[in-house]
């Protein structure tokens, strides 16, 4: 059987016509007032402890008329199982007849995510501020979430970065440009704490949103610049004077993204294209020479030739994804039109003989710092995996564009709050692998372990604290604890 030739053209979305109108007409429902309507004011299993305090911090940044609903939604997010749709959140949180108000709450969060993101960043700065002589590392990347249906606003056809054997090169859904704070735990290593995300809508899909919401098209680089400048402005308003570093993959090593960051005093570390336009340092101007001094050197630098030359390699041992590795590297200064000035380039050779070039816009940075920061960027990829597989981000089945933005950002913020709530807790309180003897008991607690520890405390507080601690209830307590272990 002949193989079908792959087309380089992006596929177009195809949807069948909708057979019938929705039976849930919001206008008609609001016109018919129900005097017996039950109002949800408390979750079935309320939040408690450090996580409850952190969610209360987010509630303070919201309108007081709807802020109480956030704690109920977050409780449902932690307790929901299987496919984590928004309706599953509400059912697990105990929402009753006023479920439409909770959908409105998600829309409100999507319309005004900045105050909540600033509250999250403020809490992170309070805990991890390195001082004026330190540095803050931010990781930037984009990721898609698959969806289905032509009525999903803002969805389009995007490249699939993690296509498996049965997946295609493209997928239909949303694409999110995300910014995360890279924190280093003294025991568990580097963890990415997401701050805020913006929805990228392709230019061909923008007119539908423009007619309804006044949406304007912006590239991923423009969205990334907005996120970084917002973060820098918020840090300075919080009197955080640390130097800001941003690490991104090679897709963001472009002039529209780098130049605004340099003007804001941000240091960028990223991967460099192998065919990047590089020059050596410009010659020193001669005494009495007229005219503006040169920005770029005269000689072109070929990265492939530099990497292929056997001389000039030096061994270095640095931290890479929680382990100490020893590799060969070369480093030198060069000039490039990407930044309009001098950069430091580091070429690293891997064990299999392959090589990769990285660059830093601060020419005084050491090669070790560049390699370790570039390796720390992988933390945001781990976050994308956890927020989709563990938290169920992208499964909420909402159609409104603001609801989608609210759900995605809310998943990311809950991820950050769970990590902060369990940051200083001991390993034994987060992992209980007695029922899994084949597992490594010393393994770093995963995000799922942290969520389960919080849920376990919530359920114990709700169902076991009201029971008297006597001989008559010991067996009953053991039964309840067995059921809770099976549930979580």
CA dist 152 and 175 (Å) reads 13
Residue 348 near residue 356 (C-beta atoms within 8 A): yes
CA dist 155 and 33 (Å) reads 34
Q: Which long-range contacts (CB under 8 A, 24 or more apart) does 68-72 make?
A: 68/41, 69/40, 69/101, 69/102, 69/105, 70/105, 70/109, 71/43, 71/46, 71/47, 72/40, 72/42, 72/43, 72/102
CA dist 219 and 177 (Å) reads 10
Contacts of 488 (CB under 8 A, 6+ apart): 452, 455, 456, 459
Q: Which long-range contacts (CB under 8 A, 24 or more apart) does 254-257 make?
A: 254/221, 254/338, 255/337, 255/338, 256/219, 256/221, 256/222, 256/225, 257/221, 257/224, 257/225
pLDDT tens-digit profile, the chain (488 residues): 445 556 667 777 776 665 566 666 667 766 777 777 888 889 999 999 899 999 999 999 999 999 999 999 999 999 998 889 999 999 999 998 888 899 999 999 999 999 999 999 999 999 999 999 999 999 999 999 998 888 899 999 998 888 777 778 888 999 999 999 999 998 888 999 999 999 999 999 999 999 999 999 999 999 999 999 999 999 999 999 999 999 999 999 999 999 999 999 999 999 999 999 999 999 888 887 787 888 898 999 999 999 999 999 999 999 998 889 999 999 999 999 999 999 999 999 998 889 999 999 999 999 999 999 999 999 999 999 999 999 999 999 999 999 999 999 999 999 999 999 999 988 888 887 777 778 887 788 889 989 989 998 888 887 767 666 665 666 666 666 666 665 66
Is 249 exposed, middle or buried, given 0-12, 13-18 or 19+ CB atoms closer than 10 A?
middle
CA dist 195 and 124 (Å) reads 9
Joined together, the tokens standing for residue 250 give 């090679």
Residue 306 near residue 347 (C-beta atoms within 8 A): yes
Is 338 exposed, middle or buried, given 0-12, 13-18 or 19+ CB atoms closer than 10 A?
buried
What does the angle CA 132 – CA 136 – CA 139 come to, to the nearest 5 degrees? Answer: 165
Sign for the CA dihedral angle at 471, 473, 476, 480 comes to negative
- The number of beta carbons lying within 10 Å of the beta carbon of residue 118 is 19
């Amino acid at each position: 059987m002949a193989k079908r030739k792959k087309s380089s053209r992006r596929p177009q979305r195809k949807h069948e016509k909708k057979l019938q109108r929705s039976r849930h007409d919001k206008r008609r429902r609001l016109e018919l007032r129900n005097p017996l309507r039950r109002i949800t004011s408390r979750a079935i299993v309320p939040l408690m402890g450090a996580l409850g305090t952190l969610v209360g911090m987010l509630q303070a940044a919201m309108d007081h008329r709807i802020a109480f609903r956030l704690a109920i939604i977050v409780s449902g997010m932690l307790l929901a199982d299987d496919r984590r749709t928004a309706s599953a959140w509400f059912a697990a949180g105990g929402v009753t007849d006023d479920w439409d108000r909770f959908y409105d709450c998600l829309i409100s969060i999507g319309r005004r995510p900045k105050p909540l993101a600033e509250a999250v960043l403020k809490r992170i700065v309070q805990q991890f501020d390195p001082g004026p002589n330190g540095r803050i590392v931010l990781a930037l990347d984009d990721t898609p979430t698959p969806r289905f249906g032509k009525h999903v606003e803002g969805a389009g056809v995007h490249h699939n970065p993690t296509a498996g054997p049965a997946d295609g090169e493209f997928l239909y859904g949303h694409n999110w440009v995300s910014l995360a704070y890279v924190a280093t735990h003294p025991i568990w290593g580097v963890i990415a704490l997401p701050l805020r995300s913006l929805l990228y809508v392709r230019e061909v899909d923008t007119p539908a949103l423009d007619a309804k919401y006044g949406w304007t098209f912006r590239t991923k680089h423009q969205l990334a610049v907005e996120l970084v400048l917002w973060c820098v402005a918020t840090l300075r308003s919080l009197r955080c004077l640390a130097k800001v570093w941003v690490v991104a993959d090679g897709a963001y090593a472009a002039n529209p993204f780098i130049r605004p960051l340099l003007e804001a005093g941000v240091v960028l570390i990223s991967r460099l294209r192998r065919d990047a336009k590089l020059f050596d340092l410009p010659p020193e101007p001669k005494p009495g020479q007229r005219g503006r001094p040169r920005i770029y050197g005269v000689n072109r630098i070929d990265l492939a030739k530099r990497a292929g030359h056997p001389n000039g390699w030096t061994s270095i041992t640095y931290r890479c994804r929680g382990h100490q590795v020893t590799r060969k590297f070369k480093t030198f200064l060069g000039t490039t039109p990407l930044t309009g000035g001098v950069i430091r380039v580091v070429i690293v050779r891997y064990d299999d003989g392959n090589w990769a070039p990285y660059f830093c816009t601060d020419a005084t940075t050491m090669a070790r710092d560049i390699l370790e920061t570039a390796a720390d960027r992988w933390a945001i990829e781990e976050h994308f995996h956890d927020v989709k597989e563990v938290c169920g981000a992208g499964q909420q089945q909402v159609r409104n564009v603001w609801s989608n933005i609210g759900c995605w950002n809310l998943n990311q913020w809950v991820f950050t709050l769970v990590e902060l709530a369990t940051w200083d807790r001991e390993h034994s309180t987060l992992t209980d692998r007695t029922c899994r003897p084949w597992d490594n008991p010393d393994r770093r607690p995963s995000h799922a372990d942290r969520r389960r520890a919080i849920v376990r405390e919530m359920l114990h507080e709700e169902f076991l604290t009201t029971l008297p601690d006597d001989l008559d209830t010991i067996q009953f307590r053991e039964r309840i604890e067995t059921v809770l272990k099976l549930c979580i």
